[in-house]
Chain A
Amino acid sequence: MSKLSISTRMILVLTLITVLSGGILAGWDMFTKPRIEFHRLEALKTAIGEVLPAHDQYESRETESGTLYIGTNTGSDQPVGIAFMAVGSGFQGELRIMVGLTPDLTQLTGIKVLEQIETPGLGTKIVVDPSNKQDPFWFPAQFKGIHVAPEIIALKNAKPSTNNEVQGITGATISSKAVTRILNEQIANVKAAWTTKGGPES
């Protein structure tokens, strides 16, 4: 080893370390990948189950506006609802929201925020509000049954009066409005993709 020039030694040792590292990581990846993939699918399935009405299974369909998950019951080809992942920017970073819609795409059947980095204690109420002991999920829960036309509106300091309004979170107006903005934008995309794909019959 010491007979080699310093440059050769540097190249040799660094190559050796990186090859070793690559080997360890490749092996570890083979070991952990199936489990990570399993958790990802489980999380997806749980989220779809929460936003769509009761269904036996769902099928994925690729469209220009992302993947749509269509929930059906066994023995019926009428979908019970259509779910999709809406992604957009919140107050501090990306929001990923699983959105459930009725098959005619006029009403929400539920939403669930899967990923967010909003302000803890304020913006995070879009997921869960621990300060509301009776109903910690009041914010996401009120989207169920909301009409998407003409657009979903988050109200500030007011009770919803029409069927397309939800109550915003005090102290987290931007997070509340980010949710409705993302929903409005992406529901429009999904509507377009769904109608060009031939609608519910296909």
Chain B
Amino acid sequence: MSTQLSLKAEFVKGLWRENPVLASLLGLCPTLAVTNAAMNGLAMGLATTFVLLMSSLMISALRNFIPYQVRIAGYIVIIATFVTVADRFLAAFLPEISATLGPYIPLIVVNCLILGRQEAFSSRNGIGRSLLDSLGMGLGFIFVLVALGIIRETLGSGSIFGVTVLGDWFTPWMVMILPPGAFLTLGILIALANWYNDSSSTTPRSTDKKAIS
């Protein structure tokens, strides 16, 4: 980081300009896998954001103690701890969601969005900045997962968050709740986001993208 961003910019960048899914294409496995319904997308987004926040807190606090050579091992243990906490929490308090998301909650451990933020940001910045960064990235992730979930659930099941919105006349597009529907919808969303950015931005596109990936 050659130039420090303002605290507000640190938070806002994850929402759209450096959105983990739309701009950096990180964390695509859960994005594609669980978004067949809006509720699943929301639950996965919240769980991931929790893990991201807690891991960033710990790792930015410990950043000067963890030797460079074992940093990845250290990060993964910290991330896995909070993933297990989130997984057990869902199993204990929201058993239906836990059953629907199944193995995808434990798989947050290998979500490259989380490890990516630790490596690129939390290990080099203070606690406050890291938390803002994580919150922005987490909200950006939730936004895309819920958007995908709403689109796929509407077309694939005729409902939004389990509430039927399209009547009996509507024949659900089965493909939308199957894996191909995830790829199609995500591709179209990314294309739309790029098209919007290209057509609306007066300033040149972000140049620090290399620092993110």
Interface size class, chain A: 20 to 34
Residue A17, interface by CB 8 Å? yes
Mask: chain B, 7-19; 1 = CB below 8 Å from A; 0 = not:
0000000000000
28 cross-chain CB contacts under 8 A: A1-B65, A9-B67, A13-B62, A13-B65, A14-B70, A14-B73, A17-B74, A17-B77, A18-B77, A20-B81, A21-B77, A21-B78, A24-B85, A25-B81, A25-B85, A32-B88, A35-B93, A36-B88, A36-B91, A36-B92, A39-B91, A39-B92, A39-B95, A119-B178, A120-B174, A120-B177, A120-B178, A130-B157
B178 near A121 with CB under 8 A, answer yes
Q: Given A13, A25, A32, which contacts B67 in the complex, CB threshold below 8 Å? A: A13
Give the B-binding residues of A (Cβ under 8 A): 1, 6, 9-10, 13-14, 17-18, 20-21, 24-25, 28-29, 31-32, 35-36, 39, 43, 117, 119-122, 130-131, 133
A28 near B85 with CB under 8 A, answer yes
Answer whether A28 and B88 are a contact pair too, CB < 8 Å, given A6-B69, A17-B77: yes
Interface size class, chain B: 20 to 34
B66-85 residues with Cβ-Cβ distance < 8 A to A are 66-67, 69-70, 73-74, 77-78, 80-81, 84-85
CA of A88 to CA of B74 in the docked complex: distance in angstroms?
39
Q: How many A-B residue pairs have CB under 8 A?
A: 66
CA of A10 to CA of B70 in the docked complex: distance in angstroms?
6
B93: which A residues are within 8 A, CB to CB?
35
Residue B208, interface by CB 8 Å? no
B73: which A residues are within 8 A, CB to CB?
14
